Amino acid sequence: MEYKLNAVRVFVTDWERSLAFYSETLGMPIAYSGAEMGWAELDTGAAHLALERVDTDDDESADLVGRFVAVSLQVDDVQATYDELRSRGVEFVSGPERQPWGGTLAHFRDLDGNVLTLVGA
């Protein structure tokens, strides 16, 4: 049996606004977009980052939004990406910080408060 990561889902409340944020502000190419389903896939290389609209009237679904989603996006230069995204208005929880294992991390929020991580050498 062989497994390949297909997509990592990020739950959002305003799907169109979030799709614009990820595709335009962050600059991720759209691989698929289905407004009627509230589903989009952004091309991040080997696997896609999927945006899934949730029903905010459903308590269980609403609990999926606005949290640390444990998604790490690898970039060539964390500092340069951090600087560029900040200039585009992206809110960072923490700036680039060198980790004991040698990599650099920076955490940012999307428009729903989901926290994602930039990671690089």
The predicted pLDDT at position 38 comes to 96
Mean pLDDT for 108-112 is 97
Domain extents for the chain? 7-120
Give the Cα separation of 82 and 114 in Å (integer): 17
Task: Give the single-character DSSP code of 40.
Answer: E
Mean pLDDT for 91-111 is 97
For the stretch 7-41, pLDDT in tens is 999 999 999 999 999 999 999 999 999 999 999 99
The chain-wide mean pLDDT, for the chain, equals 95
Given pLDDT bands bounded at 50, 70 and 90, which one contains residue 42?
very high
What does DSSP say about strands 48-53 and 68-74: parallel, antiparallel, or unpaired? unpaired
DSSP 3-state of 7: strand
The predicted pLDDT at position 56 comes to 84
The CATH homologous superfamily to which domain 7-120 belongs is 2,3-Dihydroxybiphenyl 1,2-Dioxygenase, domain 1 (3.10.180.10)
Residue by residue, what is the 3-state secondary structure of 48-83? EEEEEECCCCCHHHHCCCCCEEEEEEECCCHHHHHH
Residue 121 has pLDDT above 80, yes or no: no
Q: Write the burial class of residue 59 (CB in 10 Å: 0-12 exposed, 13-18 middle, 19+ buried).
A: exposed
Determine phi and psi for 77, rounding to 5 degrees: -140, 105
Given pLDDT bands bounded at 50, 70 and 90, which one contains residue 61?
confident
Residue 90 has pLDDT above 80, yes or no: yes
